[in-house]
Amino acid sequence: MIMWDGLQEILFTLRQNKLRTLLTAFGVFWGIFMLILMLGAGKGMQNGVYDGFGGDVMDFIVVYTGTTSVAHNGMGLGRFIQLSQEDIKTIKQQVPNIRFISAENQNEGATITFEKKIGNFSVHGVPNEYFKIKESIPFTLGRKPNPLDQQENRKICELGSAVVEKIFGKDANPVGKEVRINGVVMKVVGVFHDRGNRGRDSERIYIPDTTYQKVFGNGNRVQTIWLRPIEGADGFALEKKVIELLQRRHSVSPEDKRAVRSFNMAEPAKMVNGLFLGINAIIWFVGLGTLAAGIVGISNIMIITVKERTREIGIRKALGATPKNIVGTLLMESILVTSIAGYAGMVLGVALIELISFGLRSSGTKLEFFQNPEVDFQVAITAIILLVVVGALAGLVPALKAARIMPIEAMRAD
């Protein structure tokens, strides 16, 4: 009952100063609203950029070769460096901290036919370890390759969604059907959708590397080597050791940057992570600055409130009100305004972010660097709690000042 009386008193005071209360609440509302919107937009940008990486993990390393550009050990320029399965075996034996390693060969101009449909796509010969490195590629139908496919030289293939759409038609299920790849009959066992390279990686066909060697006469040669370090290992150190080993094996000068080359996904991932760390820091700086303006407004309003109610506070103290009662009432006033305005800003901000996200999904719109904006619920709640705590602190100084007012001084106040 006492709490209800106190709440009625606070609401009465706020109603007596409607415009002032409304402007103060709007400052808090706008601060949290803008913070939520900026956080949602930042997350949408982050999702869009990471989506551009497709189904790739963020720590893989690709090693490939070219021609020599530096003479070394009596060998001239322009010598093409050809990788082999022996290189992969040697890397496994001599380089530590490798979690997965896989060869990859590809033929860009392979022909695939099914009944009267025909198309030209790239065919990639890979072992099953390849999909442990590219583990995020979703197989929408069928299965991934397994070790038996490689050991038994099975004539099976996995088709990208773009290949299926052209050869079999949209939403078709080709699993179990037979196609001809460069005239060789192969059974379709899986369908995948790779978002990498803006979806163009779905225009691929995967077959076991042993089968690839027989179909395309590749022998023991390897075009690219894919690696993934064990968790916690330094991928850049691993990359360096592999490059140095291959340079020694193929008599390549350490200064030659063209003969044995590599791409480490950790490098762009590190740059992107640093970029978004900076963006999020700016978002929080601007958002908290906007909130601070609202909090300062609350503090100023509380100072004015104390000054206007000096006589009332003196009378209450003369009638037996303790400093704790005075401070509690004024703090509750500050917390009530901050909480309601902050919660309203959070709800409206989250609702707007969800509405934008729903609109993008339902319309099928795909922006290049913006996708699925969202706000972490824990972050939103943390912001509200922080706002309430700071709002209470903003009202604490004026409240403590009011509690120290002597009744006799209050009665003399204008």
- My answer on whether 254 and 283 are in the same domain is no
Residues 255 and 278 in one domain: no
- Same domain flag for 259 and 279: no
- Per the CB < 8 A criterion, the answer to whether 59 and 239 are in contact is no
With bands split at pLDDT 50, 70 and 90, how would you rate the model's confidence at 113? very high
Per-residue pLDDT at 2: 39
Q: Are 301 and 309 in contact (CB under 8 A)?
A: no
> pLDDT tens digits, residue range 231-280?
888 899 999 999 999 999 999 999 998 999 999 988 877 887 787 788 87
Mark whether 351 and 223 lie in a shared domain: no
Give me the pLDDT at residue 405, please. 61
Does one domain contain both 45 and 184?
no
The CA distance from 158 to 112, in Å, is: 12
* 297/390 same-domain check: yes
CA nearest to 396, candidates 295, 287, 316, 317 = 295
Give me the sign of the Cα torsion angle 67, 70, 75, 77. Answer: positive
Reported as type and span, the H/E element at residue 225 is strand 224-229
The reply to whether 94 and 243 lie within a common domain is yes
Please report the pLDDT score of residue 407 as a whole number. 57
DSSP 8-state symbol, 134: S
Share of the chain above pLDDT 70, in %: 76
Question: Which domain-ending residue is among 223, 246, 264?
Answer: 264
96 and 230 housed in the same domain: yes
Whether the predicted pLDDT of 88 surpasses 80: yes
Domain that holds residue 14: 2-53+270-412
> How high is the mean pLDDT of the chain?
81
For residue range 355-399, what is the model confidence (pLDDT) as tens digits? 888 887 777 666 666 777 777 777 777 777 777 777 677 666 666
Same domain, 126 and 91: yes
Specify whether 189 is located in the same domain as 203.
Answer: yes
Helix residue ranges, H only, 121-264: 130-133, 147-151, 161-167, 209-216, 235-249
pLDDT, average across residues 36-62: 76
| pTM score above 0.75 | no
Q: Given pLDDT bands bounded at 50, 70 and 90, which one contains residue 1?
A: very low
Give the number of domains in the chain.
2
Per-residue model confidence (pLDDT) at position 316: 64
* Pair 167, 257 in one domain: yes
* Residue located via tokens 């609401």: 11
Q: pLDDT-derived band of residue 194, with 50, 70 and 90 as boundaries?
A: confident
Q: What confidence score (pLDDT) does residue 372 get?
A: 75
Compute the average pLDDT of residues 4-20. Answer: 57
Q: Locate tokens 């060697």: which residue?
A: 213
* Helical (H) or strand (E) element with 121: strand 117-126
Residues 291 and 369 both lie in one domain: yes
| CA distance to 64, 127, 226, 309, per residue, from 60 (Å) | 13, 16, 7, 68
> Of 216, 249, 264, which marks where a domain is finished?
264
pLDDT tens for residues 315-343?
A: 666 666 665 666 666 667 677 777 788 88
Residue 355: Cβ-neighbour burial (10 angstroms; 0-12, 13-18, 19+): exposed
User: Of the candidates 212, 243, 264, which is a domain's last residue?
Assistant: 264
